[in-house]
Amino acid sequence: MLTMEQDHCKIVLDSITGNSTTDEQTFTSINVLAERLDNVRKVHRSLIDVEFSPYVQAMAEQEMKLAIS
C-alpha cells in the first residue's frame, strides 16, 4: 500500500516540478490523495487544518474549471 501512495505523490510532484505534464493521471492522483487526507482528518482531529500546497490546490482548481467548460 505504501508504494501506491508514493506513486500518487510522485505523479503530483512530477507535475508540480514540470517533469511531467498535468494530465488526467495527475488529477486522479490529487483526488486519491484528497480522499486519503480527508480520512486521516476524520481519525486525527488535530490534523484538521492540514491542507495541500498552493500548487496542488491550483491544479485541483484547474481540474474543476476544465470539468465545467
Q: Residues 44-54: pLDDT tens digits? A: 999 999 999 99
Supply the angle between the helices 24-43 and 2-17 in degrees, to the nearest 10.
130
Q: How confident is the model at residue 64 (pLDDT cuts 50, 70, 90)?
A: confident
Instruction: Identify the pLDDT of residue 68.
Output: 77
The whole-model pTM stands at 0.83
Cβ-contact 9, 15 below 8 angstroms: no
Q: How far apart are CA 4 and CA 44, in angstroms?
A: 22
- 1 vs 58, which has greater pLDDT? 58
Q: How far apart are CA 16 and CA 56, in angstroms?
A: 8
Instruction: Identify the pLDDT of residue 31.
Output: 93
Instruction: Identify the pLDDT of residue 19.
Output: 96
47-57 b/e (C-beta count within 10 Å ≥ 16 → b): eeeeeeeeebe
